[in-house]
Amino acid sequence: MTTLKDLKGQLMRDPEFRREYERADEEFTLIEALIRARTAANLTQTELAERLGTSQSAVARMEGGGVSPSVATLRRYAKATGTRLKIEFVPVES
């Protein structure tokens, strides 16, 4: 029986699959960072939305990956959660 780890290893050899997997992983990393910042600040989506001057549903869409926030929005999100936005480029592992 093939394990999930083995299956992932096999699929990652396909360049197209690898690109899509890495793209999705980057999105999930951003979503996780947004949610962690909000929860660390002890804010609900509604409270954060009030600080951002938007609706709770807009925050939910951002945290759910339904929209791609601009850098300006990410800066406002960081300020509202008492954090600092840091964007970095890292070398691609081969």
Query: What mean pLDDT comes out for the span 71-93?
Result: 94
Q: How confident is the model at residue 94 (pLDDT cuts 50, 70, 90)?
A: low
Burial per residue of 35-54, b for 16 or more beta-carbon CB atoms within 10 angstroms, e otherwise: eebbeeeebebeebbeebee
Q: How many CA atoms, within 13 angstroms, populate the side-chain half-sphere of residue 30?
A: 23
Residue 6 has a pLDDT of: 84
Query: What mean pLDDT comes out for the span 1-5?
Result: 80
Six token digits for residue 24: 């999705």
- For residue 90, what are the CA distances in angstroms to 15, 51, 87? 19, 32, 10
More confident position, 88 or 50: 50
**pLDDT of 93 over the 80 cut:** no
